[in-house]
Amino acid sequence: MSDAKLQSVISALTQVATQLNAMPTSQSAPDANCVKLNTNENPFPLPMMVMQSALAALERHYMYPEDDNLSLRTAAADAYGLSQDQVIAGNGSSELLGLIYRAFLSPGDSVAMMSPGFSFNRKLAMLQGARFLEVEWGESYSLPTEQLLLGPAKDAKFILLANPNNPTGTFVPVAEIDRLVDQSNRLIVVDEAYVDFAPDDALRLVDRHSNLMILRTFSKGYAAAGIRVGFGFGHPELIGRLRNLQNVFNMNLIGHAVGISILSHRADYDENHRYIKHERQRATTALSQFGFSVIPSHTNFLLARVPPGQDGKWWHASLDRRNILVAVFPDDGLENYIRISIGTKTQMDTFISAVRDISESL
């Protein structure tokens, strides 16, 4: 296609699409031998029963998956004590988050998110032509209810709250969420992606509030990030409308099978969760000894302020040279932080050793 024809085609894109830069045509994949601690994966094998369910599903590879994810939704309803029509299943909770944006936002509308938070929400708002409002966390990461109800966010079509929060790892008591939802007449979306590492969850509030929706995923607590299984829980009227927006066959056979099996074998992950909490504390102690300031975490990652006089990008680059990947953020206020996923003992030993070596060389 000539440049003139290409420009003609691009000019026909929607206004939102023209604002997006083209993705690079080639990106290098991470070294297979790297210590990958930058995307909060749970790097442990699936329990044998769950793995067997995946292999059995693969034998039916020639069939379409079940429409409307009926069996998976039923299994989730039974596991969590809800009705089937209170559950939507998705290709990860990120798909469900996108559905909420499509359902609630028109160009010029606004949506509010606690900040810092999951940055992908900014892109979802832009795709709908909506304004994205970021409300800063209160002191000690308490929920600023008054600002959300009466401040700049008072006209937002819905409010996003991750609990525990990413990237800070902090946790808001469920009673605070209950009060916010009770006082608001807008939708409150609580993303509980990391709730399996936290002291409590808000699922019991679903039957009490018609304006609450809770998102869950099996990516973090259940080591299934590559299989893409997520859920939304809420009022049947809201859930039914979102289900009607979903793409046909939005999930695959393996996702269905693994999701149903995990729901039946959640207790098999108890040791996994205990291990991650233990390594989380070990890494916190080690980093503190090297001059980092670590925010107390209720997730499978740590957000750590680097020692005085350094910044997050410098530490990111220093660790990268040792084939260790951690996350950094461009957000205001996070320049001096790195985020470290909790990995296997070998991975964490390598990370801690590298931090020690780098610190001693300064």
Instruction: Give the CATH number of the domain where residue 69 resides.
Output: 3.40.640.10
Residue that terminates a domain, selected from 230, 264, 298: 264
Which region, left, alpha or beta, applies to residue 111 given φ > 0 means left and ψ of -120 to 50 means alpha? beta
Query: Do 73 and 34 share a domain, yes or no?
Result: no
The Cα–Cα gap between 111 and 125 comes to 7
Question: Are 276 and 334 found together in one domain?
Answer: yes
* One-letter amino acid for residue 314 of the chain: W
- What are the backbone angles phi and psi of residue 160, rounded to the nearest 5°? -105, 135
Whether the CB-CB separation of 258 and 229 falls below 8 Å is answered with: yes
Q: Which helix (H) or strand (E) holds 258?
A: helix 253-264
Residue 4 lies in a domain: no
Residue 280 lies in a domain: yes
DSSP designation for 119: T
Choose the final residue of a domain: 264, 290, 314: 264
Q: How many angstroms separate the CA atoms of 210 and 61, rounded? A: 39
- Of 344, 355, 341, 349, nearest to 302 by C-alpha is 341
C-alpha torsion angle, residues 242, 54, 64, 220 (rounded to 10): 20
Residues 6+ apart with CB under 8 A from 68: 243
One digit per residue, pLDDT tens: the chain, 362 residues?
Answer: 457 877 877 788 787 777 777 777 766 767 778 999 999 999 999 999 999 999 999 999 999 999 999 999 999 999 999 999 999 999 999 999 999 999 999 999 999 999 898 989 999 999 999 999 999 998 888 999 999 999 889 999 999 999 999 999 999 999 999 999 999 999 999 999 999 999 999 999 999 999 999 999 999 999 999 999 999 999 999 999 999 999 999 999 999 999 999 999 999 999 999 999 999 999 999 999 999 999 999 999 999 999 998 899 999 999 999 999 999 998 888 999 999 999 999 999 999 999 999 999 88
Query: Domain check: are 247 and 277 in the same one?
Result: no
- Residue by residue, DSSP assigns 31-64 as PTTSEE-SS----SPPPHHHHHHHHHHHTTTTSP
Q: Are residues 161 and 182 in the same domain?
A: yes
Residue 234 counted as domain residue: yes
Q: Which residues pair with 243 in a beta bridge?
A: none
- Domain extent for 281: 30-45+270-357
Please state the domain count of the chain.
Answer: 2
